[in-house]
Amino acid sequence: MGEIFYRPRRLRRTRLIRDMVAETRIAIDGLIQPYFVCDGAGVRQEIESMPGIYRESSDVLMKTIADDYALGIRRIMLFGVPEAKDAVASSALGPDSVATKAVAMLKDKYGDDLFVSADVCLCAYTDSGHCGLLSGDAVDNDRTLPVLAEMSLSLAKAGCDCLGPSDMMDGRVGWIRETLEQGGFPQTLILAYTAKYASTYYGPFRDACHSAPGKGDRKGYQMDWRNRYEASRELELDIEEGADIVMVKPALAYLDIISDLRQATDLPVAAYNVSGEYAMVKLMARQKLVDEKTMVLENLTAITRAGADIILTYHLRDMLKGDWLG
Ligand SMILES: [Zn+2]
């Protein structure tokens, strides 16, 4: 008769025991809610592929964020969705750019009580829908860098706490960092999209931002999802160039990459729980195939367990409304 000396099930017997010995806890302070801000006034359009997420003009956005602030949201990421698009992404620049104006309004109202980060990329502002400027049919890396840096400086001047360059041009973190230093904004954070993969999971986001490329795809600048070690090279470059936080995007199909980055650096590691991951949960919950709350908690716990300190997630508002972490 084999004697059992250790029984792992003892630590799983009751909820209080399980909660006491849980190895991973989701920290509310590490969660960031993304928003989409568009031109106009009184605009609030639900994004069809992302139930519960809206494109809003800045006046409406201010009300939404006031409600979310009351719920407990303190950290946000803004994406601009301008009407005007051209070859050189003019609408991304200057104090009147749609996201920059919203940043200024928010910082004016909340100051340091709301952490405002903003996306830095050109795809919502170019008529090609590509993340950089084109030379012929190709995305021209070096011609794009000064534009990204100028966009960053406009956002920093508006009071933006943190810039999130998501374009995947080579050298952009360094360009932005140097421009911020020279422009008098040495305190502005850079949340670098270190390992951003050319993913199918972005589908609903492109719908939200009207940013699908008209021609071609993004495989010439975003990472190939067959590659793991390449993320280490991107990490080295981003650290060298002055990134404060490094990010993996998407999250759920890239837990190995999150874990690699967590072990390779002492900088904070972020992960983007992207639109397609959000839409899968929402659509399955609508079909009553899964319980939304437990699936969201399982997903965010997995991302945290893999090593993410910070998670950008569209689920944050629902989590607070339902007191899911309570
Ligand atoms: Zn882009």
Of 278, 290, 224, the residue nearest 254 (C-alpha): 224
Active site (catalytic) residues:
196, 249
Tens-digit pLDDT string for the chain (326 aa): 778 889 999 999 999 999 999 999 999 999 999 999 999 999 999 998 899 999 999 999 999 999 999 999 999 999 999 999 999 999 999 999 999 999 999 999 999 999 999 999 999 999 999 999 999 999 999 999 999 999 999 999 999 999 999 999 999 999 999 999 999 999 999 999 999 999 999 988 777 777 778 888 899 999 999 999 999 999 999 999 999 999 999 999 999 999 999 999 999 999 999 999 999 999 999 999 999 999 999 999 999 999 999 999 999 999 999 999 98
From ligand 1's centre to the CA of 101, what distance in Å? 20
Tell me the CA–centroid distance for residue 28 and ligand 1, in Å: 27
In the structure, ligand 1 is a single-atom ion and the residues with CB under 5 Å from it are 121, 123, 131
Å from CA of 294 to ligand 1 middle: 31
What is the structure's pLDDT at 213?
Answer: 83
* Contact between 312 and 272 (Cβ < 8 Å): yes
pTM, two decimal places: 0.96
Distance between CA atoms of residues 121 and 91, nearest Å: 12
The pLDDT value recorded for residue 17 is 98
Pairing state between β 44-46 and 75-81: unpaired
Rounded to whole angstroms, the Cα distance separating 105 from 267 reads 30
Crossing angle for the helix pair 230-241 and 255-264, to the nearest 10 degrees = 50
- Helical residues (DSSP H) of the chain, grouped into ranges: 15-21, 58-71, 98-110, 141-157, 172-183, 203-209, 230-241, 255-264, 275-286, 292-306, 316-321
Strand partners, 195: 248
What pairing do the DSSP bridges indicate for beta strands 138-139 and 134-135?
antiparallel
- DSSP string covering 192-248: EEEEEB--GGGHHHHHHHT---SSS-STTTSBPTT-STHHHHHHHHHHHHT-SEEEE
For residue 98, report the distance from its CA to the centre of ligand 1, in Å.
Answer: 16
Are 82 and 98 in contact, with CB atoms under 8 Å apart?
yes
Distance CA 266, CA 71 (A): 31
Per-residue pLDDT at 206: 78
pLDDT tens column, 73-98: 999 999 999 999 999 999 999 999 99
Distance (Å) from CA 14 to ligand 1 centroid: 47
The answer to whether the peptide bond before residue 95 is cis (omega within 30 degrees of 0) is: no
